[in-house]
């Protein structure tokens, strides 16, 4: 719909897409150019370049103080490929996997692809839109085999408290299940010291990506850290599914861990935080409820129920805002049924100038509406 409006000459501000507006950093581009010029374009091992796996291992030591053996690291064709490999390894027909509602929609489809059952658990503001140990305990049953979590989360930008995550891991471990934690936004955590679920034990499967913190979305490169016993199965599946991740992307990603590149990423991270600190109070001023301030990623999950007309839901509201105000927002419908009708996801992965203009347009839009509270 937004593309059609733009083709018709309308100005549209995109606050829906989950993609950094920053391009790949110059050291990454330089490394890619050098790899091309040097002919470094042939297949790599299925689990990734050894030097890139070592660089990721060093990254965990530098940032988190953890010694993660490079042999446990599998470089993948994006975090999506890592999640697919995890589910291919762990999920069998009828396997039930618990995950919060709301959550990233593809997660449940990865489970379903291997005839598993993604069991969404209603997770509201009081749980920071995340699973808690009590919720896992309550919903675990005979068919349940594991949990798939994301911290920080898409669509909410909220993280699981480390103590709560430790309690979840302990409970899953006691039930001889698996814990998969999507940490693709972990580098974009703003309010707490660096933390990774890998600190909770070797049996945790962690997914990460070069897309978000490292600004390499179109390069399709990620990684996973798996228990030692799981490596052969994942490697065999990776060989059959993908042969190997993009060689050029891997060569370029080596530059992500250099000092000049890290300085760029940290500067961009600070800018994301500045945008968050602008957009959250601005949304509240417009009449949205932001029950949980995001502590990571670049999303705000906002309750729009106070702004809805009778018979209207978040999907209808976002369509109307697009048509009349030229601002793209995403309805909760995409992220699960629990918050589908009352919530929207706002991405602040766009410039401050765009955010300010979007707020101006939204203020003008809402001032022109005749509000009517929905009937209870």
Task: Work out the average pLDDT over 184-189.
Answer: 98
Condensed to tens digits (0 to 9), the pLDDT of residues 251-303 reads 999 999 999 999 999 999 999 999 999 999 999 999 999 999 999 999 999 99
Instruction: Using the predicted structure, report yes or no on whether residue 376 has a pLDDT greater than 50.
Output: no
Helix residue spans in 243-295 (DSSP H): 247-253, 259-286
Condensed to tens digits (0 to 9), the pLDDT of residues 19-44 reads 999 999 999 999 999 999 999 999 99
**Which percentage of the chain shows pLDDT scores above 70?**
98
Condensed to tens digits (0 to 9), the pLDDT of residues 248-263 reads 999 999 999 999 999 9
Instruction: Using the predicted structure, report yes or no on whether residue 370 has a pLDDT greater than 70.
Output: no
Answer yes or no: same fold for 2-22+261-367 and 26-258: no
**Which percentage of the chain shows pLDDT scores above 90?**
97
- Options 3.90.1150.10, 3.30.2010.10, 3.40.50.970, 3.40.50.880; CATH of 2-22+261-367: 3.90.1150.10
> What residues have CB less than 8 Å from 195, skipping those under 6 apart?
64, 162, 186, 189
Q: What is the pLDDT of residue 325?
A: 97
Cβ atoms 208, 185 nearer than 8 A:
no
Q: What is the pLDDT of residue 375?
A: 43
Q: What is the pLDDT of residue 372?
A: 44
Question: In whole numbers, what is the pLDDT of the chain averaged over residues?
Answer: 96
DSSP 74: E
Condensed to tens digits (0 to 9), the pLDDT of residues 76-131 reads 999 999 999 999 999 999 999 999 999 999 999 999 999 999 999 999 999 999 99
- Options 3.40.50.1820, 3.30.70.20, 2.40.10.10, 3.40.640.10; CATH of 26-258: 3.40.640.10
Per-residue tokens: 116: 């598993």
Kindly list the domain boundaries of the chain, sorted by start residue: 2-22+261-367, 26-258
Task: Work out the average pLDDT over 51-67.
Answer: 98
């Amino acid at each position: 719909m937004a593309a059609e409006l733009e083709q018709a000459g309308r100005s549209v501000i995109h606050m829906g897409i989950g993609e950094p507006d920053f391009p790949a950093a110059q050291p990454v581009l330089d490394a890619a150019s050098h790899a091309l010029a040097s002919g470094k374009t042939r297949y790599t091992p299925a689990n990734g370049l050894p030097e890139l796996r070592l660089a990721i291992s060093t990254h965990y030591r530098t940032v988190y103080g953890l010694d993660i053996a490079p042999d446990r690291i599998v470089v993948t064709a994006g975090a999506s490929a890592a999640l697919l490999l995890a589910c291919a390894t762990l999920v069998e027909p009828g396997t039930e996997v618990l995950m919060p509602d709301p959550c990233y929609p593809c997660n449940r489809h990865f489970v379903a692809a291997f005839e598993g059952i993604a069991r969404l658990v209603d997770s509201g503001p009081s749980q920071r839109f995340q699973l808690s140990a009590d919720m896992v305990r309550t919903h675990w049953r005979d068919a349940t085999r594991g949990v798939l979590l994301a911290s920080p989360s898409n669509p909410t930008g909220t993280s699981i408290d480390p103590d709560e995550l430790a309690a979840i891991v302990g409970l899953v471990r006691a039930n001889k299940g698996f814990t998969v934690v999507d940490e693709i936004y972990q580098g974009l955590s703003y309010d707490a010291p660096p933390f990774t679920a890998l600190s909770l034990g070797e049996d945790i499967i962690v997914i990460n990506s070069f897309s978000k913190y490292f600004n390499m979305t179109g390069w399709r490169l990620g990684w996973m850290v798996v228990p030692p016993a799981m490596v052969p199965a994942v490697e065999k599946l990776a060989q059959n599914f993908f042969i190997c991740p993009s060689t050029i992307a891997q060569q370029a990603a080596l530059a992500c861990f250099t000092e000049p590149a890290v300085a760029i990423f940290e500067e961009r991270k600070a800018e994301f935080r500045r945008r968050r600190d602008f957009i959250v109070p601005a949304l509240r001023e417009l009449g949205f409820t932001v029950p949980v301030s995001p502590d990571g990623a670049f999303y705000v999950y906002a309750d729009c129920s106070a702004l809805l007309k009778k018979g209207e839901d978040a999907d209808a509201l976002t369509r109307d805002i697009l048509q009349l105000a030229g601002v793209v927002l995403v309805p909760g419908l995409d992220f699960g049924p629990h918050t589908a009708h009352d919530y929207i996801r706002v991405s602040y992965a766009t410039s401050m100038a765009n955010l300010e203009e979007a707020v101006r347009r939204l203020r003008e839009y809402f001032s022109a509406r005749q509000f009517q509270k929905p009937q209870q």
